[in-house]
Amino acid sequence: MNLVLLGAPGAGKGTQAKRIVQQFGVTQLSTGDMLRAEASSGTAIGKQADEIMKAGRLVPDEIIIGLIDSRLDREDCRRGFILDGFPRTIAQATALDAMLASKHLKLDTVISIEVDDEAMVERISGRYTCARCSEGYHDRFKQPKVEGVCDVCGSTKFVRRADDNAETVRQRLKAYHSQTESIIAYYDKQALVRRVDGMRAIDEVTEEIVAALRDGTRID
């Protein structure tokens, strides 16, 4: 089962992707995570991407396409994958189609998580994750049960993304509307899109996605 997860920043793509991984055994491919890993290792790509990410703009297509192309060849993608944060431009979407065709693969479903912009600024500005296990938290909506201690692994170290501040979030939302949103129409033409209401509680969104995948997708 090969999936794309679309949605504005803060829509819950990362959270939902992790749940889909648990339920369906596919591999999560997050271009944002890949770029952050490159940046923290100080690679040439990481250095180029870091400033762009901090400004809330999109990293050049050729860098992203190269990252995904080699990643799709790895063994763990054989059972299927979920693309989280890619494609983000029409050029990336057409490159993905060509890439998949050359590897004799295809997309089964594109999930679009639909949300309101203003709610996203509040959602993103307060979020942080456990530095050890990546469990997600939020200043207002989900604090650890014991203050300062991760519910899942007990770590006391937490991290916030450098681009999760109100000003950068507004820029990221702008980039989403001007460069990414049109991808929904691109995949609509291929009859692949399933729309999900991302303003509901996290568990309800998961249920809707799982139901859409179970009824609309060939599961190998």
Report, in Å, the least distance between residue 156 CB and ligand AMP: 24
Q: Which two tokens stand for residue 48?
A: 């180029």
Q: Which two tokens stand for residue 18?
A: 């992790």
Long-range contacts of 74-81 (CB under 8 A, 24+ apart): 76/27, 77/27, 77/29, 79/25, 79/26, 79/27, 79/220, 80/1, 80/2, 80/3, 80/24, 80/25, 80/26, 80/27, 80/220, 81/2, 81/3, 81/26, 81/27, 81/28, 81/29
When asked if residue 31 is in the footprint of ligand AMP (CB under 6 A), the reply is yes
Q: Which of 45, 59, 82, 111 binds ligand AMP (CB under 6 A)?
A: 59
Q: Which two tokens stand for residue 176?
A: 């989403």
CA dihedral angle for residue 158, residue 206, residue 121, residue 117, rounded to 10 degrees: 170
Please, which residue, 80 or 85, has the CB nearer to ligand AMP? 85
Report, in Å, the least distance between residue 60 CB and ligand AMP: 8
Q: Which two tokens stand for residue 172?
A: 């990221």
Report, in Å, the least distance between residue 89 CB and ligand AMP: 7
Please, which residue, 161 or 207, has the CB nearer to ligand AMP? 161
Q: Which of 1, 7, 16, 172 binds ligand AMP (CB under 6 A)?
A: 172
Question: Measured at the alpha carbon of residue 167, what is the angle toward residues 174 and 133, in degrees to the nearest 5?
Answer: 95
- Minimal CB distance to ligand AMP: which residue? 32
Binding track over 83-122 against ligand AMP, x by CB under 6 A: --xx-x---x------------------------------
Catalytic residues: 13, 88, 127, 161, 172
DSSP state of 105: -
Residues that bind ligand AMP (CB under 6 A): 9, 31-32, 35, 52-53, 56-59, 64, 85-86, 88, 92, 163, 172
